[in-house]
Amino acid sequence: MNTLKIVQYFKLVTAQGRTHRFQNYFVGSTSTLLGETYDFAPFRADGALASLNGENQQFQVLFPNLEYALRLVEEANGNRLSQLTFSTAWLDGNNQIDRPVTDYYLGIGASFSETTIELRFRSAIDSVGSQFPGRTLTRDLVGPLPLNAELYLR
């Protein structure tokens, strides 16, 4: 029987340059991704939302309302202009990382409730995901280049 195991890596760099690294799978221990160590913290990523109009994607990360999460918000000036590197990785049967996918976001704010702290982000590059093909956009590839974010690749 195959078991699907997923770990998410949250790397936040505040506007002052302080870095915070958390992962949400290895409870009570650390994990390493690309040579960087991530401590455990419970959090939930609340998906990226995209529209048909090509605006920046919106992304939320929810933390329990605990001291370490409050520090994230305070040190990041309310999560304004912080930089988030968010990686999702599948684990094989030996808990080794297989096929990580990374996206990049900019902080746009935070909100609080009695039980959670929500950090809000937008995509770092308008209408372009991290898996965008490495090509130069030319008229031959996309036709007449638009004046807004509407690109259609053939």
CATH number of the structural domain spanning residue 92: 2.30.110
Per-residue pLDDT, 145: 58
Is residue 48 included in any domain, yes or no?
yes
Here the contacts of 64-68 (C-beta below 8 Å, separation 24 or greater) are 64/115, 64/116, 64/117, 65/112, 65/113, 65/114, 65/115, 65/116, 65/117, 68/41
**Residue percentage of the chain with pLDDT more than 70:** 73
Regarding predicted confidence, which is higher, 141 or 8? Answer: 8
Banded pLDDT at 48 (limits 50, 70, 90)? low
Is residue 43 included in any domain, yes or no?
yes
Is residue 153 included in any domain, yes or no?
no
Is residue 118 included in any domain, yes or no?
yes
pTM above 0.85, yes or no: no
Per-state percent for the chain, helix, strand, coil, to nearest 5: 10, 45, 45
Is residue 150 included in any domain, yes or no?
no
Is residue 138 included in any domain, yes or no?
no
Residue 140: in which H helix or E strand, if any?
helix 139-142
Structural domain that includes position 115:
5-128
Count structural domains, the chain: 1
Select the highest-mean-pLDDT range: 47-51, 74-78, 112-116.
Answer: 112-116
Residue 42 has pLDDT above 80, yes or no: yes
